[in-house]
Amino acid sequence: MTIPPAPSTHPDAGWWRQAAVYQIYPRSFSDANGDGMGDLPGVTARMGYLAALGIDAVWLSPFYPSALADGGYDVDDYRNVDPRLGTLADFDAMVAAAHDAGIRVIVDVVPNHSSNRHEWFKAALASAPGSPERARYHFLDGLGRHGELPPSDWPSHFGGAAWTRVVEQAGPNAGRPGQWYLHLFATEQPDFNWDHPEVREDFHTTLRFWADRGVDGFRVDVAHGLAKDMTLPLRSKKVLDILVDDGSDPLFDRDEVHEIFAGWRDVLNEYDPPKAAVAEAWVPFTSRRLKYARPTELGQAFNFDLLQAPFDAAGFRAIAEKCLVEAEASGASSTWVFSNHDVVRHASRYSLPDGSTLEDLAAWLLAGGATPPTDRERGLRRARAATLFMLGLPGSAYLYQGEELGLFEVADLPEASLQDPTWFRTQHSVKGRDGCRVPLPWLSDAADFGFGGSPWLPQPDWFAGHAADVQDGVEGSTLEMYRAALGWRRKLQAEESLQWLDAAAPAVVHYRRPNGWEVLSNFGGAPAMVPSGVDLSKVVLSSGEPARGAIPGETTLWLAP
């Protein structure tokens, strides 16, 4: 068993506990070389914008060499930069510029699977069944008389089966269909075998490689998927959701996974301040999700509960209360997220009719061709209120590029432009996630909205009204609201706790931070009574209309002490 090292006494050791982290999807952020794909020099060029926004850190989605079968989450080489996005020197320049601007850098690690172009997978394909090269992945013989059936009924996340059969290149069956390999995502994303010591060791090398280049933390993709029960015969699992909270699922959230992350923590603690890490673990049980976030493991785990919840006072408060209590008990700090590169943007989710579940909303927006009845004004009003509710809470806030511009999902991308593997693996029945990945609008009346090159996904005309330049300095714009909130947030965060206060109306949630800052959110459509003792003259920020004697509908107010 690993003995946890003594906690660091470095003054910056806990920088991540209440950080505002801005997610950059590099292909879609800013294009410096004009090839239509965002790149690392593009990020460097926008460091002034990021500093003015007031964030503490950026998290970059993968920028590694990749065929982009899954937007870069199919990694060919974990310790390099995709030439279309820059070079290692560009990476170093970007980190230096970020650090000069007081911004920390988090990079994505993708340990569940590599791409099928990774040198280890190419070696596995070129070697015979049973060879050491195959042992780093999950290769199995098929079922049926001739091995013609996949080894289990497991589905892939993007549709279709999680197994692909190979044509053998070596051994007695060369030239004939042979074994099957596991890929819980696209065919191009073979799953690693984490029981293999070389896989474990290689990821330690990757962590050190980027840590030595100055990154401050890691976002860990599909953290709950690394340990699998591959005992034969494989157990049946027709849906990928985790239905049990005891670690007995064959594919996800198994107890053995924590030993892997305890090993990672040892590596991260070789640095002072220790490197931060956040698990992407879609585990529906808070207490089990927080195991990944223990101080002896990654430190944080994404909390997607608010992201999945309808816009509702009681629901939001219950989630925030539970997550804060459980995070504290586990020694972590909570995280909060409304949008990222995998989900429909929250301004669009909230613009759909009440009573719709997230599944309805996703199906509505993502199903080929359907145009849902939306109320964009209300969607953005609610998104802004939800964001201020969240930014006032203790813990880390993860923001997704473009939400500070009030962007909606681009739900009607032309089919010919779609690139998400979901679109291809569902025989064009589910559009997938491209609608939240459209390159950002920087300038309202420039070609490509100032992105830098003809964008890899087409931008809609309505982006003009959301461009950064038309919001810059404009009171009440979403960009200025984010800037003000991120500025005030530093003052709120003196201590990592809050007190819930009784609100005057059921649609209102009211909390106070220890240093006297107060947040009041009205989730109802109509103005709500101000709780007694609240002095509206102390309002420094409103997500909507100014508060005149009442809390406006679907609005959050921040009050200074």
The Cα–Cα gap between 29 and 347 comes to 19
Nearer to ligand NOJ, 168 or 420 (CB): 420
Contact 177, 56 (CB under 8 A): no
Cβ 158 to ligand NOJ, closest distance in Å? 8
Q: Does 430 bind ligand NOJ (CB under 6 A)?
A: no
Q: Does 342 bind ligand NOJ (CB under 6 A)?
A: yes
Nearer to ligand NOJ, 70 or 133 (CB): 70
Phi/psi-derived region of residue 349, left when phi > 0, alpha when psi is between -120 and 50, beta in every other case: alpha
Cα distance between the two ends of the chain: 48
Alpha helix segments (H runs only) across 399-493? 421-425, 468-471, 478-492
Closest among 215, 258, 254 to 237, alpha carbons compared: 254
Nearer to ligand NOJ, 222 or 559 (CB): 222
Q: Is the dihedral of CA 132, 134, 135, 137 positive or negative?
A: positive
The Cα–Cα gap between 273 and 235 comes to 43
In this structure, the number of other CB atoms found within 10 A of the CB of residue 154 comes to 22
Cβ 432 to ligand NOJ, closest distance in Å? 10
Cβ 293 to ligand NOJ, closest distance in Å? 17
Nearer to ligand NOJ, 47 or 279 (CB): 279
Cβ 27 to ligand NOJ, closest distance in Å? 12
> Given 76, 191, 221, 404, which residue is catalytic?
221
Contact 235, 202 (CB under 8 A): no
The residue number with the shortest CB distance to ligand NOJ is: 73
> Given 270, 312, 328, 480, which residue is catalytic?
270
Nearer to ligand NOJ, 108 or 133 (CB): 108
Cβ 379 to ligand NOJ, closest distance in Å? 23
Contact 525, 551 (CB under 8 A): no
C-alpha angle with apex 58: 56 to 60, nearest 5 degrees? Answer: 170
Cβ 186 to ligand NOJ, closest distance in Å? 8
Nearer to ligand NOJ, 220 or 505 (CB): 220
Nearer to ligand NOJ, 254 or 491 (CB): 254
Near ligand NOJ in 59-118, by CB under 6 A: 70, 73, 110
The Cα–Cα gap between 94 and 87 comes to 11
Cβ 70 to ligand NOJ, closest distance in Å? 5
In this structure, the number of other CB atoms found within 10 A of the CB of residue 30 comes to 24
- Does the annotation count 270 as an active-site position? yes
Bridge partners of 155, per DSSP, are 161
Cβ 429 to ligand NOJ, closest distance in Å? 18
Nearer to ligand NOJ, 158 or 451 (CB): 158
The Cα–Cα gap between 110 and 89 comes to 22
Near ligand NOJ in 180-239, by CB under 6 A: 185, 221-222
- Does the annotation count 554 as an active-site position? no
The Cα–Cα gap between 210 and 79 comes to 8
Cβ 377 to ligand NOJ, closest distance in Å? 30
Cβ 304 to ligand NOJ, closest distance in Å? 11
C-alpha angle with apex 72: 29 to 412, nearest 5 degrees? Answer: 60
The Cα–Cα gap between 492 and 518 comes to 9
Nearer to ligand NOJ, 385 or 413 (CB): 413
* Site track for ligand NOJ across 129-168, x = CB under 6 A: ----------------------------------------
The Cα–Cα gap between 419 and 424 comes to 8
Nearer to ligand NOJ, 136 or 183 (CB): 183
Number of residues this chain uses to bind ligand NOJ (CB under 6 A): 9
Near ligand NOJ in 278-297, by CB under 6 A: 280
Q: Is the dihedral of CA 302, 307, 313, 315 positive or negative?
A: negative
The secondary element (H helix, E strand) that includes residue 219 is strand 217-220
The Cα–Cα gap between 442 and 440 comes to 6
Cβ-based burial of 147 (10 A; exposed 0-12, middle 13-18, buried ≥19): middle
With a CB cutoff of 8 Å and minimum separation 6, the contacts of 124 are 131, 133, 134, 136, 137, 139, 181, 190
Bridge partners of 255, per DSSP, are none
Bridge partners of 276, per DSSP, are 217
Binding site for ligand NOJ (CB under 6 A): 70, 73, 110, 185, 221-222, 280, 341-342
- Active-site amino acid positions: 221, 270
